[in-house]
Structure 1
Amino acid sequence: MRHYAIGDIHGHLDKLQGVHALIEADRAVTGDHAAPVVHLGDFADRGPDVNGVLEYMIAGQTEGRPWINILGNHDRMMWHFLQEEEQSDPLRDDLHWLMLNINIGGRKSLASYGVDVSDDRPVAEIHAEGRAKVPAAHLDFITSLKEYHWADDLYFCHAGVRPNVALDAQVQDDLVWIRKDFHDHHDSFGPLIIHGHTHLDEITHYGNRLNIDTGAAYGGPISVVVIEGRDVWELTENGRRPVTPA
């Protein structure tokens, strides 16, 4: 079965539309217009148009596009901040969504909705204006995001999985936040794990996992791959480029 997968988006609508155009070009070659497209999360934060990205994603769902949308840690942080009573991320209460000294990206997300996120403005005021201006449909979209998608020999998630824990017993904290323990595991997970979360200069295939986050949050591109069985190709303006284990 063929799958397309798109790495971390981070509020870059133009780049997101660009990789969808690459998918449509590949579909025209294969004739397959039903293969699912898995978005690996982090729709929110750091980029200029989170509002536009979420509108685009909701419109695609409404139109019945074959999209599977995965929860990222930045999406989870956005949802928790915008509840009636502001909340920290359940795992990372050391990180405030509006932090000034670390580029979490919450201020850019809210600015895309027209919220005044001035550095000297009280957080309570920003929170109140954010709740007034971010549509409920956008928070409902985040609520609807899947923790993972498992299809035969492929397992898609945002950050990775906890080694030596069954794939159907993974917890959300790991699926959206894990790094070191996952990255340091070199044995097979069974299915190939397709993930983002930790940005690299290029798509990298480790044999047991495939990282397709190429740093859109930091000026890099959004990357897209097509997977058939366990064979992987990056989609480019010049067609498919094979991605093989390093």
Structure 2
Amino acid sequence: MMRARSAASSNPIAASTPPDTRLYAIGDIHGCADLLIETIERIERDLERRPIRSSVEIYLGDYVDRGPDAKAVIDVLAARLVEGRAVCLRGNHEDLMERFLRDPIHLEAWLQLGGLQTLASYGVTPRTDRVESDKTLHRRFCEAFPRAHELFLQCLKPWCACGDYLFVHAGIRPGIPLEAQKLGDLLWIRDEFLTSQRDHGKLIVHGHSPVPHPDIHHNRINIDTGACWTGTLTCLALEGTSILFL
């Protein structure tokens, strides 16, 4: 898959990171392992050019479904997590996959949003020579799903705050304190959050709602640029009051 490289830009914004800290936020990956690897390479080159005392990669969720290499994406991210390089947030597509891992009754809902590609990446495809029950497919997927990936899913966070920024997959319900937010909203919310003009107390960096290019507002930044459709996986570098799109 070819990546349509976005132009680099740097702009001052009202929010700030802690001193001597750079945050790299990466949008929805959706099984595009090639784009993830390219993005990590760009981050590492950026750190070589611009060394800094503290840096962290924050992945905004939706690692699986739609794209072809969900298993490889989790392999890469699990390694970054173990190395202490990354914070990985939970997305609604991880939620869908986990629901199916717990109970085959959730298969159809998952398949409607790209689960078939994820199953295939683990070497599990529905059998076409005969009717296969959801329970049988569920058993085959559970057998193919590595223990390391189960542990990775257990490590996913609902949100991450640093400096004046809050990182979350979909957004937050406006007017509700962070500690009272429901996980369903953090993973799934759209219109109520996207149309809100409220000051949320922190600048929200999120994905979940695909946009043709990074979408910057006074109260939020959307960096889901539809990697599995556009070939563009957005990486936002935050340092001090500046932002840079790698």
Sort the TM-score into its range (normalised by shorter chain): 0.7 to 0.9
1:45 aligns with 2:54: no
Q: What does residue range 120-159 of structure 1 map to in structure 2 within 5 Å? A: 121-159=132-170
Whether the 8 Å contact between 2:126 and 2:137 is mirrored in structure 1 is: yes
Equivalents in 1 of 2:243, 2:124: separation in Å? 41
For 1:97, the equivalent position in structure 2 comes to 110
- The partner residue of 1:181 within 187, 192, 214 is 192
1:161 CA displacement: 0.4
Residue 106 (structure 1) aligned with residue 97 (structure 2):
no
**Aligned partner (choices 6, 26, 35) of residue 15 of structure 1:** 35
Identity %: 36
Contact 2:25–2:57, Cα closer than 8 Å, also in 1:
yes
Q: State the structure with bigger RCO (CA 8 A, min sep 6), 1 or 2.
A: 2
Q: Note the alpha carbon deviations across 1:139-194, whole angstroms, 9 max, x for none.
A: 22112100000112000000000000012321211110000000110121121100
Check if 1:168 corresponds to 2:187. no
Structure 2 counterpart of 1:105, one-letter code: G
Instruction: State the partner residue of 1:209.
Output: 220
Deviations 1:11-57 (A, max 9, x none): 11110011111111111121126311100000111111111111111
Match in the other structure for 1:69: 88
- Determine the C-alpha separation between the residues in 1 that align with 2:163 and 2:58: 15
Q: When the two structures are superposed, what TM-score results if normalisation uses the length of structure 2?
A: 0.86
More moved, 198-207 vs 128-137 = 128-137
Provide the secondary structure at the position in 2 that maps to 1:163.
coil
Give the unaligned 5+ runs of structure 1.
Answer: 90-94, 236-246
Q: CA distance change for structure 1 residues 33 and 21 in 2, over 3 Å: closer, same or farther?
A: farther
1:187 aligns to what SS in structure 2?
Answer: coil
CA RMSD of aligned residues (A): 1.7
For 1:33 and 1:122, how far apart are their aligned partners in 2? 53
The answer as to 2:69 corresponding to 1:56 is no
Change (3 A) 1:34 1:152: closer
- Structure 1 length as normaliser, TM-score? 0.86
Q: Which amino acid aligns with 2:101?
A: L
Residue 153 of structure 1 contacts residue 230 of structure 1 at CA under 8 Å; is this kept in 2?
no
Where has structure 1 moved over 6 Å in runs of 4 or more?
A: none
Q: Secondary structure at the match of 1:109?
A: helix
The number of equivalent residue pairs is: 224
- Aligned mates of 1:134, 1:170 — CA distance in 2: 31
Bigger helix fraction: 2
